[in-house]
Structure formats: C-alpha cells, structure tokens
Amino acid sequence: MGCFGYNNYRTGNRNVNNVAGASDENSIARFLRTLSPGTPVVIQYDDQKPAHGIFEGFQNGNLILSRFNGFPGLTRVNVNSVNAVSVGGRCHD
C-alpha cells in the first residue's frame, strides 16, 4: 500500500500501558502521540479500507477522530487495531 507513510511492526504481546491506554510496543501509538489535534490523517485498521478523518487525540486507549469518512461526529477507534497511518493525505482506490 504505497500511499501509507507509516507502518506498524508489532514486536510482541506485552501490554505495557501508557497514559492513553495504548501498548508501548505499538509504534503507531507513539507516532500518533506526536500529532497535533486537527491534523488530517488516513488510517487503515482491522480489515477495513483506508479511511480519512481529523485526528483529535486519545481517550481511554481509543484514537478519537472527527469527520471520519464524512461522519459529522466523533469516532473512536482502538489504537491497537490501527495497522497503518498517513498524515495529511487521502488515498484513492
């Protein structure tokens, strides 16, 4: 998937929690913590197609996105289920 700028390489099954509730082994969570709220992102999680939204932060181990695929409210995605993320871009099939 060439349009994604960052991939998640899991290194084990340890579950060491940070403030956001995400595993420290999760490189996606570390990367997302560097983003400012309001940053446009494209994420791919579980077996879903890539989807775009606006990064808003974390709550209880969940990634909070607004305008997720055009949805007008807030969407919560378990940060440990995110496989790839791209900043500012939009993938086209």
Per-domain residue ranges for the chain? 6-87
Q: What is the predicted pLDDT for the residue at 88?
A: 83
Confidence tier at 89 by pLDDT (50, 70, 90): low
91: pLDDT strictly greater than 80? no
The tokens for 12 are 């084990």
pLDDT tens sequence across 7-56: 333 434 333 333 444 445 578 888 999 999 999 999 999 989 999 999 99
Integer Cα distance of 26 and 17 in angstroms: 10
Number of Cβ atoms within 10 Å of the Cβ of 5: 14
Give the strands of the sheet with 6-7, arranged side by side: 6-7, 82-87, 39-45, 51-59, 62-66, 74-78
Q: What is the predicted pLDDT for the residue at 44?
A: 93
Q: With the C-alpha atoms ordered 77, 43, 55, 34, is the resulting torsion angle positive or negative?
A: positive
Confidence tier at 2 by pLDDT (50, 70, 90): very low
Q: Is the CATH number of domain 6-87 2.30.30.100? A: yes
